[in-house]
């Protein structure tokens, strides 16, 4: 059995370009990473059929928040919605905590360590396409 972790396809959705870039740099050596600073564009790509092993998605974004993106994704690609890991640097209101509680998706607090991000990515099993 190999100790080498399989490469994962990772989508990072964060409206803060510096945060997205830092996350990309910490994963790029071992994974195939796509970054989107526009959640509406990322959702369109997912709607068009793009699939990722994991989607690291900021919870609070001005044009389309992570929970709204997840809710839309759950309608047309529920198997992809299960692969969303939320990230938040903001204060979670009771409403946000309640909405997060409705999903089984993990949430990482920002600022996060490289190890936390890598563990989240590596904990997600690789995508298996139907035969």
| Residues sharing a CB contact under 8 Å with residue 8, sequence separation 6 or more, in sequence order | 31, 32, 52, 53, 54, 121, 122, 124, 126
The reply to whether 4 falls in a domain is: no
Q: What's the total number of domains in the chain?
A: 1
CATH code at position 101: 3.40.50.2300
Alpha carbons 65 and 127: distance in angstroms, whole number: 24
Specify the pLDDT at position 1.
Answer: 41
Residue 37 scores a pLDDT above 90: yes
Query: Model confidence over 49-62: pLDDT tens digits?
Result: 999 999 999 998 99
Residue 131 lies in a domain: no
**Single pTM value for the model:** 0.89
Q: What is the distance between the alpha carbons of residues 52 and 59, in angstroms, rounded to a whole number? A: 18
> For residue 99, what are the domain limits?
9-123
| Inside any domain, residue 17 | yes
Is 1 part of any domain? no
Establish if 130 belongs to a structural domain.
Answer: no
Task: Indicate whether 129 belongs to any domain.
Answer: no
């Amino acid at each position: 059995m190999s100790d080498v972790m399989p490469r994962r396809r990772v989508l990072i959705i964060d409206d803060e370009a510096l945060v997205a870039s830092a996350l990309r740099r910490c994963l790029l050596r071992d994974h195939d990473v796509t970054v989107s600073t526009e959640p509406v564009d990322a959702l369109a790509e997912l709607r068009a059929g793009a699939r990722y092993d994991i989607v690291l998605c900021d919870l609070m974004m001005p044009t389309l928040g992570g929970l709204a993106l997840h809710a839309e994704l759950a309608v047309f690609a529920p198997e992809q919605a299960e692969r969303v890991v939320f990230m938040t640097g903001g204060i979670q209101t009771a409403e946000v905590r309640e909405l997060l509680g409705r999903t089984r998706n993990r949430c990482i607090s920002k600022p996060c360590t490289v190890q936390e991000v890598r563990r989240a990515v590596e904990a997600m099993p690789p995508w298996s396409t139907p035969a």
